[in-house]
Structure 1
Amino acid sequence: MTERTPERPADRMPTPQSVLARLRYDPAADIEHARADPDGFWLAQAQEHEWTRPPTQALRWDRPHHQWFADGETNITLNALDRHARGEARTRAALIWVSEDEQAHIYTYGTLLDRVERFAAGLKSIGVERGDRVVIYMPLTPEGVIAMLACARIGAVHSVVYAGLGVSALRDRIQDAGAKVVITADVGYRRGKLVDLYATAAEAIGDLISVDYLVLLERIKTLHREHDMRTVAWEDLMTRGRAPAESVEAEHPLFILYTSGSTGKPKGVVHTHGGYMVGTSYHMKALLDVHPGDVFFCTSDIGWIVGHSYIVYGPLVSGSTVMFREGAPDFPDTGVLWRLIEKFGVNVLFTAPTALRLFMKLGEAVLKPYDLSTLRVVACAGEALNPEAWRWAQEHVAGGTGEGAHAVVIDNWWQTELGAPTIGTHARWPVRPGYAGKALAGVDADVVDEQGAPVAVGEQGYLVIRRPFPSMMRGVHGNDEKYAAVWNENPAGYTSGDLAMKDEDGYISILGRSDDVLSVAGHRIGSADVEDALVSHPAVAEAAVIGIPDALKGEAIIAHVILRQGLGYETQVGRGLRASITEHVRHQLGPIAAPAEIRVVDSLPKTRSGKIMRRVLRAQALGQDPGDLTTLEG
């Protein structure tokens, strides 16, 4: 766990009047409404959407299980597409997609609806039915978004797997979800290089007889001459008619998204049509201050929850224009991100602290050639936004802290399990560097001890959510025990797994993880997943991984491995062996899980019961006191 000390509560930065005058939404009345009547507040938000059967009630809760708007019926695509395409918004840009070489492609709401209807009909033609699971292993392209929406339209459940993950990670998710169809592309682009996605997908499905079809979008027609027998072309599916939106219960599953836990295989977090729709779209206006006619630029990927919520569903349900781009933020040059903001007049930018730290390292000269004055909000999430990065971004991206500022940089905290921002700093509130913010409207969050009692101001405790809100997960696919555990671990409520502290005004600072989950560039990676990949290498007998602070990525993965004896590996400890082990993990789990360093050791610190004491390894790596070692194996 990486701990940090937030700044003193007195160190707060009020939003300049020059920025306040540009903001279009004030959440103050919402916060009061939600405090007085949380169910009534959320039901009022639900009534702003289109329902085939309007709900009459908000929350049904039998802890740990909860339902929202359960007597209502809708389809999230009716709200994301149809209701806009039927009116004057039909010709409004829904998507602005930019390729790595900066070619822009614009999809209006009318065009996007047409593509989704066609692909949805194509999926139905190959046997995809309501409730079926479909895995999407796609690069960040409009077709990836279309595939998600098409599944939702016919009541199928999509599970997007980040296209940077490797064969084993993809295979595990296909199996766990029970997917009958996998959708992929031949390639993605990353820093000018082709990433062969089809080969990974074809190897992953291998002998999985549960997979009936592999749908292939060919971006380079000549790359793959031999196809898996189950392969069907994307273009063929686009010629099989149109599919209307199927009305489904509010609690009908929308998607499964896998996220790393502290032990075992990743868990499949389940979100639903109704509550997720209401929760994610609410924060488009209330936190991010995005409205129809605005250009909203999200630098995430559809493989992560931020991409689900704020590239696809949140922006489209709200009727705004979302821009997204395939490729790295500093390629083909360090000015591309800022050049696009100027070119398209972006109003709100949603990015990660890792990106801000990257440009802080490169220096403000990178930004100076570009006019960023259309920006009014820069929102960060995915990992802690450290005070230094906030100050740099406020000064050089947002125009400073004085009356010449045109934007404000805000932090917000949430998780895959929560679906939408949960703790944050509204653009109208003073920013407190090092603090994510306060509990947002309709959220009851607290910092407590192991018995569920609130801790004192300024003391470290466990971050919990006392009461459900609509965008929270409904379960873990196929594992109700694992779902129940997050509600039953602490008497106070849902346990986030994060340590936090709160100041006297309710601002909360996220201090790090309380479990063995690593956070690399905003991506959650289970230490158990990396260790399993390491020991599957023929040279490795045992492994333990830790995360240590990294100025750019938040945490870097350090692997400690014990080599198998008698096979000759112990006599070949050098760059070649370390590279082989690293590449093995990269192939199994993807580049984000590749260790930054491989340390070959003779033993690992363990308790007498055999549990690896990772905190000892972490303390050694950081030059710190390892603390109580009475349980250490003798």
Structure 2
Amino acid sequence: MPSEPEKVFNPHADVASKAYINSMQQYQEFYQQSLENPGQFWANVAKQFHWETPYDPENFFSYNFDISKGPIYVKWMEGASTNICYNLLDRNVKNGLGDTVAYYWEGNHPDDYSRLTYRKLLEEVCRFANVLKSHGVQKGDRVSIYMPMTMELPVAMLACARIGAVHSIVTPWTDGRDFWWHQEIEDAEPACYPEWMSAEDPLFMLYTSGSTGKPKGVLHTTAGYLLYAATTFKIVFDYKPLDIYWCTADIGWITGHTYVLYGPLANGATSVMFEGTPFFPDTDRYWEIIDKYKVTQFYTAPTAIRSLMKFGDEPVLKHDLSTLRVLGSVGEPINPEAWLWYYRVIGKERCSIVDTFWQTETGGHVITPLPGATPMKPGSASFPFFGVKPTLLDESGTEIKGEGEGYLVFSQPWPGMMRTLFNNHPRYESTYFSKFNGYYCTGDGARRDADGYYWVTGRVDDMLNVSGHLMSTSEVESVLTEHPRVSEAAVVSRPHPVKGECLYCFITPNQNEAFDKTLISELKVLVRERIGPFAQPDVIQHAPGLPKTRSGKIMRRVLRKVAINDRDVGDTSTLADEAIIEQLFANRPKN
């Protein structure tokens, strides 16, 4: 018998029977079409949107992934023009969705809430677009946005898109430079003609988290991103009219851009938007919101799931979660223990879990289960989305066939992928295309099992080599979090005079659990039993918290510095809580 995390969980019959893609056979048919004739596949998707200048279905895309053949480029629908704001708002209002709620907004305090229809959202966007124009903002300008998760945030982003400005992020209020929102918007006109944009015109820039170094300005463009955000949202979450969808991500990172803003609105969806924390006023806040709005799709990060697990099942059982149909996971590989809790306690074994793998650079999901079709393996992202062709390569660039583990790369483009790094195309080419000619390199490692499922093992630079044994940090972390007293774990390596590298582990215990010698001993035994004697950690340190970026990713380079007691930790401006660094140094074991 396989161990429990290796079990396969089939989609519930109620989910599969009504899904857009309801079997693996249907998935395979669509997937093959998307690879064999991607132009035709995505041209069919494009028919649902408005194009001011029509696209040429015979010349739908072109690309070069091979530096030896010239500059790297990706182009979709070149020659066509549209406006993404028009497609998200005007099109839906004209199609009869004007009075449909676009967002239910929930503030940090439960008594603070509101709603915004598509018609009202369009009006507010036009008002602010006119405000921007009154200050001289025009097509091609770059507008930086620094706002909380209030309804003014999507309004500001869509106003930029409406007039052809590129949105990004900035520092907060500066006297003499800035204007009060409500004063500016009060007298602005509620109508603004959209600026028609070429398909490859820039839409937005996002700076990556900096978890592996200096942040990079990832640039996404208009038409291809629209197609991909809309399609992945509809198919991966199986969104239907009258559903209520909730993604907990902050709009300031890519998950918020694609799956709070652009993807849902492109489908005329109704979403919940939450400004607060899952722990206020109590630890059942997420479940209370799902119950309140009758949420059908819920999308959050493994970090949040593990944080809520430690409070047990009781906060969940206080609420009716029976409307849920699809549960999503995003941001990092989810460990099987968290997956099983999510499936059983939140989903009551009837919801499909879509464990999505993607990046800021990919624009949308690239490897993911489909809720009505994919048999689920806890911890596996499963199979590629339409148009995405993953390959595993070894260090020499040789393709790994069948079962195996290697570098995760892609051999052809999909519409939503980034086009360049802002003002630094050479870095774009060297970062993503120089290691293996002809491939986009994700920087992640992955394993493919005998059934063809993909298991993302984490950043390639998060691989550990202990006494000649290669293992991923996520593999060890998954074992550590099996312990019932452990909430979170992070593993890095540090130099060892005999083994080359040794394991240095950071452990955050569950609430009200002590970090003591017994726990340390039990964790060492657990790793030894699950992985092998070579993997037994040399150091296990108490961590009151982990250094995470605002998108929830662990900044491992900081942990490596703590492990070797080097206080030169570099740029930590993207950390959610920089104070945790000093606490980690203070907690270093004396021996």
TM-score (norm 2): 0.77
Q: Cα distance 1:457–1:145, how it changes in 2: closer, same or farther (>3 A)?
A: same
8 Å Cα contact 2:143-2:165 kept in structure 1: yes
Counterpart code for 1:41: F
State the match for 2:55 in structure 1. 55
Moved more, 409-418 or 39-48: 39-48
Give secondary structure in 2 for the equivalent of 1:367: helix
Give the Cα–Cα distance (whole angstroms) in 2 for the partners of residues 511 and 264 of structure 1.
20
TM-aligned CA distance change 1:419 to 1:7, over 3 Å: farther
Q: Give the CA deviation at 1:18.
A: 3.4
Counterpart residue type for residue 283 of structure 1: T
Q: Which residue identity lines up with residue 20 of structure 1 in the other structure? A: A
The answer to whether the 8 Å contact 2:403/2:452 transfers is no
The whole-number CA distance in structure 2 between the counterparts of 1:590 and 1:503 is 35
In the alignment, which of 350, 364, 381 is matched to residue 420 of structure 1?
Answer: 364
Report the equivalent of 1:114.
123
What RMSD in Å do the two structures reach over aligned CA positions? 3.1
How far residue 264 of structure 1 moved from its aligned partner, in angstroms, is 5.0
| One-letter amino acid of the counterpart of residue 425, structure 1 | P
Q: Does 2:73 align with 1:71?
A: no
Structure 1 residues 46 and 323 mapped into 2: Cα distance closer, same or farther (>3 Å)?
A: same
Q: Which residue type is aligned with residue 237 of structure 1?
A: E
- CA separation of 1:265 and 1:141: change in aligned 2, threshold 3 A: same
Q: Write out per-residue CA displacement over residues 86-134 of structure 1, whole angstroms, 9 at most, x where no aligned residue.
A: 2320000011111111222110000000000000000000010110001
Aligned counterpart in structure 2 of residue 502 of structure 1, from 410, 433, 448: 448
What whole-Å deviation, never above 9, does each CA across 1:323-361 have from its counterpart, x for those lacking one? 110011121111111111111111111111111112211
What is the alpha-carbon distance in structure 2 between the residues aligned to residue 246 and residue 340 of structure 1? 37
- Equivalent residue number for residue 223 of structure 1: none
CA distance in 2, matches of 1:109, 1:429: 33
Q: Specify the code of the residue in structure 2 equivalent to 1:333.
A: D
CA contact under 8 A between 1:99 and 1:326: conserved in structure 2?
A: yes
- How many percent identity over aligned positions? 37
Question: Which residue does the alignment assign to 1:591?
Answer: 576
Identify which of 366, 378, 401 aligns with 2:315: 366
Distance 1:87 1:516, change over 3 A: same
Q: Which residue of 2 aligns with 1:104?
A: 113
For residues 502-523 of structure 1, the C-alpha deviation after alignment (integer angstroms, 9 at most, x for no partner) is 1133211111211379999xxx
Q: Alignment partner of 2:447: what SS?
A: strand
Aligned-partner Cα distance in 1 for 2:20–2:400? 36
Task: State the 1:25 CA deviation.
Answer: 4.3
Which residue number corresponds to residue 7 of structure 2? 11
1-structure distance, mates of 2:44, 2:506: 45
Aligned position for 1:444? 389
Q: CA deviation at 1:374?
A: 0.7
User: 1:245 and 2:194 equivalent?
Assistant: yes
Q: Secondary structure at the residue paired with 1:134? A: strand
CA distance in 2, matches of 1:276, 1:307: 14
Pairing partner for 2:259 from 310, 313, 316: 310
How many angstroms apart in 1 are the aligned matches of 2:161 and 2:153?
13
CA distance 1:456–1:265, shift in 2 (3 Å): same
Q: Which amino acid aligns with 2:180?
A: A
Distance 1:430 1:562 in 2: 43
- One-letter amino acid of the counterpart of residue 303, structure 1: G
Instruction: Tell me how far 1:426 sits from its aligned partner.
Output: 1.1
In the alignment, which residue of structure 2 is the partner of 1:409? 353
Query: Partner residue of 1:41?
Result: 41
Match of 2:302, as an amino acid? Answer: P
Question: Which residue, out of 269, 274, 277, partners 2:223?
Answer: 274
Contact 2:229 2:364 in 1 (8 A): yes
In structure 2, the CA distance between the partners of 1:22 and 1:364, relative to structure 1 (3 Å rule), is farther
Could you tell me whether the CA contact under 8 Å between 1:7 and 1:433 is conserved in 2? no
The structural deviation recorded for 1:58 is: 2.0
- Measure, in 1, the Cα distance between the counterparts of 2:565 and 2:376: 49
Equivalent residue number for residue 334 of structure 1: 283
List per-residue Cα deviations over 1:361-388 (Å, max 9, x = no partner).
1111111011111111001111111111
Match of 1:87 in 2: 95
Structure 1 CA distance, aligned partners of 2:585 and 2:325?
Answer: 49
User: Aligned partners of 2:579, 2:390: CA distance in 1, in Å?
Assistant: 34
C-alpha change, 1:561 and 1:286, in structure 2 (3 Å) is closer
Q: How far, CA to CA, are the matches of 1:14 and 1:158 in structure 2? A: 41
What is the one-letter code of the residue matched to 2:444? D
Alignment of 1:510-525 (within 5 A): 510-515=456-461
Q: 1:440 Cα deviation (Å)?
A: 1.0
Tell me the distance in 2 between the aligned counterparts of 1:299 and 1:563.
35
Offset at residue 416 of structure 1 (A): 0.1
Say whether the 8 Å CA contact 2:5–2:337 is kept in structure 1.
no
Within 2, Cα distance between the matches of 1:562 and 1:357? Answer: 28
Residue type of the alignment partner of 1:85: V
CA–CA separation in structure 1 for the residues paired with 2:505 and 2:42? 39
Give the drift of 1:599.
Answer: 6.7
Alignment counterpart, residue 460 of structure 1, candidates 383, 405, 426: 405
Q: How far did 1:461 drift?
A: 0.7
Return the letter of the residue paired with 2:188: R
Q: Is the 8 A contact 1:96 1:107 kept in 2?
A: yes
> What residue is the counterpart of 2:515 in the other structure?
none
- 2:523 corresponds in structure 1 to none
Residues 1:152 and 2:161 are matched in the alignment = yes
Instruction: Give CA deviations for 1:518-573 in whole Å, capped at 9, x if unaligned.
Output: 999xxxxxx9xxxxxxxxxxxxxxxxxx9957688674743439999xxxxxxxxx
Q: Is 1:479 matched up with 2:431?
A: no
Aligned equivalents of 1:498, 1:338: Cα separation in 2: 33
What residue is the counterpart of 2:272 in the other structure? 323
| Residue range with higher mean Cα deviation, 270-279 or 232-241 | 232-241
Q: Which runs of 5+ in 1 are unaligned?
A: 1-5, 162-169, 171-197, 203-227, 521-526, 528-545, 565-577, 602-619, 624-634
Q: Rate the CA distance shift 1:600–1:388 in 2: closer, same or farther, 3 A.
A: closer
Aligned residues of 1:260 and 1:266 also touching (Cα < 8 A): yes
The answer (yes or no) to whether the contact 1:262–1:515 under 8 Å persists in 2 is no
Q: Distance in 1 between matches of 2:107 and 2:564?
A: 43
Alignment of 1:137 with 2:146, yes or no, is yes
Return closer, same or farther for 1:126/1:506 CA change in 2, 3 Å cut-off. Answer: same
Going from structure 1 to structure 2, the CA distance change for 1:305 and 1:550 (only over 3 Å counts) comes to farther
Matched residue count: 493
C-alpha deviation, 1:294, in angstroms: 1.5
- Closer/same/farther in 2, CA of residues 302 and 9 from structure 1, 3 Å limit: closer
Instruction: Provide the rounded CA distance (Å) in 1 between the counterparts of 2:394 and 2:5.
Output: 22
